[in-house]
Structure formats: C-alpha cells, structure tokens
Structure 1
Amino acid sequence: MSHADVHRAGDTPIKVDLIAGETYVWCACGRSAAQPFCDGSHKGTGIDPLVFVARKSEAVFLCNCKQTLTPPLCDGSHKS
C-alpha cells in the first residue's frame, strides 16, 4: 500500500480515550464514515485496518490524515 492509495479523512488528529484491554480497529484507508475507526469501507481496496489492543487507559491522538509513520497514532504528518 502506498500513501497515494489512501484517502485523507481530515487535517487534524482525533482525540480518543482508550480503555485498557479493549480492542480497537483504526481506519487506515480514510474511507470510513466512523473516523478514526473502521466501518468496513475498505473492502475491495486492498487496504486493511489496523487492529490494536489498548495497553492502558489513556487519551491519545489518532491519525486522521492517514499519512502517519506511527499508525494509529498521529506523528504530525498532517502538517506537511
């Protein structure tokens, strides 16, 4: 997958309160209407969402531009 294949869902990260032990499915394609989470809109694109389990309960900023080098976390890529 290249960055050219994904849709930019937004220009700012989304703050999410994660709960330790919970499983989350981050949208990697940018097509989901439930940003920053997957709603299945990636089907047929060849782009898979990122499934992760929160290690601890905390507030994080999840990438919405889909250009991050540290998915699912924002790394500031939306600024360039």
Structure 2
Amino acid sequence: MEKGKVAAREPVSVELQAGKEYWWCACGQSKNQPYCDGSHQGTEISPLGFRAEKSGEAWLCMCKQTANPPYCDGSHENIVEETD
C-alpha cells in the first residue's frame, strides 16, 4: 500500500466520541489534518473511515507511515530526513 506524504513528524491528540464516524487523511495533503478534506482526489490514496470504539483522547498519526492507521505507532521516530 502506498503511504502518504508526511503531514507532521509527531502525532496529534484528538478527542473522539464513541460510535462517531471519522475520516482520517491518509494522503497527508489535507488542510484539515488529521481529517480528510478531499485533497486525495487524483491520487491512489483514499482516506480511512473509522468509528471510535470509546470516547476520549486518541493519538492520531500525522506522519502517515503508521502500520496501525489511524493511530500513531511511533513510525515517526524512524523517518529519515531528506537532504539536498
């Protein structure tokens, strides 16, 4: 599966509501991070719809490299800086 561009190098804390549906941006191009705003149109990457299992704080991935989308798994720690 193709990974999206890095939107940020650390996760973001969000408050989720149990049973509510959310659309996590997987492409990294949304201006409404960590949620989808439709910017993936024209790419091969689609947003991930998910329903919160419980209410409360959750850490959503912003580097778009997680193996456990939409949640952070620490993958941002392994991103190599690109040099010119």
Extract unaligned runs of 5+ from structure 2.
79-84
Aligned partners of 2:43 and 2:75: how far apart in 1? Answer: 23
Query: What is the SS of the residue equivalent to 1:60?
Result: strand
Q: CA deviation at 1:2?
A: 2.1
What value does the CA root-mean-square deviation take over the aligned residues?
0.7
Runs of 4+ in 1 over 2 A off after TM superposition: none
TM-score between the two structures when normalised by the length of structure 2: 0.89
Structure 2 residue corresponding to 1:47, chosen from 45, 48, 58: 45
1:25-64 counterparts in 2 under 5 A? 25-64=23-62
The answer to whether the aligner puts 1:76 opposite 2:77 as a matched pair is no
Aligned partners of 1:25 and 1:8: how far apart in 2? Answer: 17
TM-score between the two structures when normalised by the length of structure 1: 0.94
Q: CA deviation at 1:23?
A: 0.6
Query: What is the SS of the residue equivalent to 2:15?
Result: strand
Identity %: 55
Extract unaligned runs of 5+ from structure 1.
none
- 8 Å contact kept, 2:2–2:45: no
